[in-house]
């Protein structure tokens, strides 16, 4: 029996075979030429969100259904029964995940279901702790309790369905528990150390992401997808913290501070090239554009021209880096120690 495209995609998602082997098998069974280029034809940051518009269509339906159900619970269910209604909603999400995540392996609908499950469980716990009359909202355990419930829900979803996106939810849940715990221990503490805290959390997520990446340098298994989502969470935390250290208020930054921000983005670009992950760089592009704007503001150009020049320089930087990613990465990797080169994805 010839496997269908969906079955091959499911085999790749389950880690049974890699994407390159699946493509070769599909070409062989269809009587076409098998590509000999191997992994060089595959984007190492390829993440499969959808196999077709059917996945998008199902995601829209699921989001509408579950958001509508939440509104119905808040509008119709008596206050005292809302925790049980949200738990029932979480049960419905779990049942849907058994079909769309575990059986059909639909990535985009599964992401929507994972977020919904965590949200429903968190709301089920938030209702008696924060919302309902007589809720102990001012007690130090209330907010950490909600954060802990969200973390437990994310962990349960991950253990059951092994969805790579759930790695982001688990990491975000741990950060939420940390922030809620600090706020409960000493109100205002988390806000007073937000930049160091964001940097620490971002570095921790980055280390976890690199752990997945180092397990699969060729990025042929689900470890690469797990790493992608953790990099996506780590990047804005690291970038925001580093830019905050360079310029507390970028809108009022001096020329020296804007230059420091550009230096931070350049350093992140080198790291991104080394680990072959663009997420770090993407998170810094907004700051990069603002810093360019600060520098251009020192000229005598009018506001419209400054804005246009900033966009041109930002877009040119992105296009040039994207087009030259592979040769630039080869150049950076050539300067790296041999031990580090052996652990990272090879420069193609």
**Span of 13-22, 126-135, 223-232, 336-345 with lowest mean pLDDT:** 13-22
Residue among 254, 251, 265, 245 at smallest CA distance from 314: 265
Q: Is residue 262 part of a domain?
A: yes
- What would the mean pLDDT of 297-322 be, rounded to a whole number? 84
Least confident of 81-85, 205-209, 271-275: 271-275
- For residues 206 and 173, the answer to whether their CB atoms sit within 8 Å is no
Contact 223, 216 (CB under 8 A): yes
Give the mean model confidence (pLDDT) for residues 49-76.
90
- For the chain, the straight-line distance linking the first and the last C-alpha, in angstroms and rounded, comes to 36
* HSE (side-chain half, CA atoms, 13 Å) at 137: 8
Q: Which two tokens stand for residue 291?
A: 């810093």
Longest dimension (CA), the chain: 71
- pLDDT, the chain, mean: 83
What confidence tens digit (pLDDT) does each residue in 168-201 have? 999 999 999 999 999 888 888 888 888 899 999 9
Does the residue 258 lie in any domain?
Answer: yes
| Residue ranges in the chain assigned as alpha helix (H) | 5-13, 19-29, 53-76, 82-97, 107-126, 142-161, 165-185, 189-192, 194-215, 222-246, 255-275, 279-296, 303-323, 325-335, 338-343
- Residue 37 — very low, low, confident or very high, per pLDDT cuts 50/70/90? very low
Residue 35 counted as domain residue: yes
What local confidence, expressed as pLDDT, does residue 132 receive?
75
- Which of 19-33, 92-106, 322-336 has the weakest average pLDDT? 19-33
pLDDT at position 12: 64
Query: pLDDT value at position 208?
Result: 95
CB 239, CB 268: distance < 8 Å = yes
Task: Tell me the C-alpha distance between 294 and 310, whole Å.
Answer: 9
Q: Which residue, among 140, 139, 61, has the nearest Cα to 100 in the 3D structure?
A: 61
pLDDT of residue 137: 67
pLDDT (0 to 100) of residue 194:
86
260-266 average pLDDT score: 85
Question: How far is it, in rounded angstroms, from Cα 297 to Cα 295?
Answer: 5
Residue 324 lies in a domain: yes
User: Which tokens go with 102?
Assistant: 């575990």
pLDDT band at 2 (very low <50, low <70, confident <90, very high): low
> Of 21-30, 45-54, 282-291, which range is least confident?
21-30
State pLDDT tens for residues 204-213. Answer: 999 999 999 8
How far, in Å, are 85, 151, 233, 243 from residue 169 at the CA level? 23, 8, 9, 25
Flag whether 153 is in a domain: no
Is 195:165 a contact under the CB 8 Å cutoff?
no
Given a cut of 50, whether residue 38 has pLDDT beyond it is no
* Residue 251 to residue 287: CA distance in whole angstroms: 10
Please state the rounded mean pLDDT for residues 314-318.
Answer: 88
pLDDT of residue 191: 80
* 294 contacts 310 by C-beta, under 8 angstroms: no
Say if residue 55's pLDDT is above 60. yes
The answer, yes or no, to whether residue 237 has pLDDT greater than 50, is yes
Q: Which of 148, 145, 137, 124 is nearest to 73 (CA)?
A: 124
Cβ count within 10 A of residue 35: 13
pLDDT at position 34: 34
In the DSSP assignment, the letter for residue 127 is I
Domain count, the chain: 2
Residue 170: strand, helix, or coil: helix
Domain of residue 8 covers 1-42
Q: Scan for tokens 């950490």, then name that residue.
A: 144
- 297 inside domain: yes
Q: What is the mean pLDDT of residues 40-65?
A: 77
Q: Is 312 inside any structural domain?
A: yes
In percent, the amount of the chain with pLDDT more than 70 equals 84
Q: Does a structural domain hold residue 341? A: yes
pLDDT at 287 over 90: no
Q: Report residue 33's pLDDT band, with 50, 70 and 90 as the boundaries.
A: very low
The 8-class DSSP code of residue 105 comes to -
């Amino acid at each position: 029996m010839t496997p269908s495209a969906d079955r091959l995609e499911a085999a790749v998602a389950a880690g049974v075979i890699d994407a390159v082997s699946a493509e070769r098998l599909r070409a062989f069974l269809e009587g076409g030429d098998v590509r000999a280029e191997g992994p060089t034809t595959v984007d190492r940051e390829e993440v499969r969100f959808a196999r077709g518009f059917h996945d998008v269509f199902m995601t829209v339906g699921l989001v509408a259904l579950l958001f509508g159900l939440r509104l119905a619970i808040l509008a119709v269910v008596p206050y005292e029964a809302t925790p049980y209604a949200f738990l029932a909603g979480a049960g419905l999400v779990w049942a849907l995940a058994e079909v769309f995540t575990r059986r059909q392996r639909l990535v985009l609908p599964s992401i929507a279901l994972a977020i919904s499950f965590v949200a429903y469980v968190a709301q089920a716990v938030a209702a008696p702790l924060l919302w309902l009359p007589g809720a102990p909202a001012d007690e130090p355990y209330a907010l950490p309790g909600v954060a802990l419930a969200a973390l437990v829900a994310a962990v349960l979803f991950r253990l059951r369905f092994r969805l790579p996106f759930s790695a982001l939810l688990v990491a975000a849940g741990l950060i939420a528990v940390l922030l809620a715990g600090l706020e409960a221990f000493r109100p205002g503490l988390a806000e007073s150390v937000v930049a160091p805290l964001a940097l620490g959390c971002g570095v921790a997520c980055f280390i976890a992401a690199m752990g997945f990446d180092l397990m699969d340098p060729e990025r042929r298994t689900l470890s690469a997808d797990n790493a992608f989502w953790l990099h996506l969470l780590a990047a804005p935390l690291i970038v925001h913290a580093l830019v905050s250290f360079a310029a507390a208020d970028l809108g009022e930054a001096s020329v020296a501070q804007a230059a420091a921000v550009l230096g931070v983005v350049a350093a992140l670009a080198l790291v991104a090239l080394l680990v072959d992950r663009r997420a770090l760089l993407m998170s810094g592009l907004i700051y990069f554009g603002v810093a360019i704007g600060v520098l251009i503001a020192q000229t005598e150009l009018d506001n419209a021209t400054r804005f246009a020049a900033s966009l041109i320089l930002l877009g040119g930087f992105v296009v040039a880096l994207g087009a030259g990613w592979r040769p630039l990465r080869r150049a950076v990797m050539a300067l790296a120690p041999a031990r580090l080169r052996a652990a990272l994805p090879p420069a193609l």
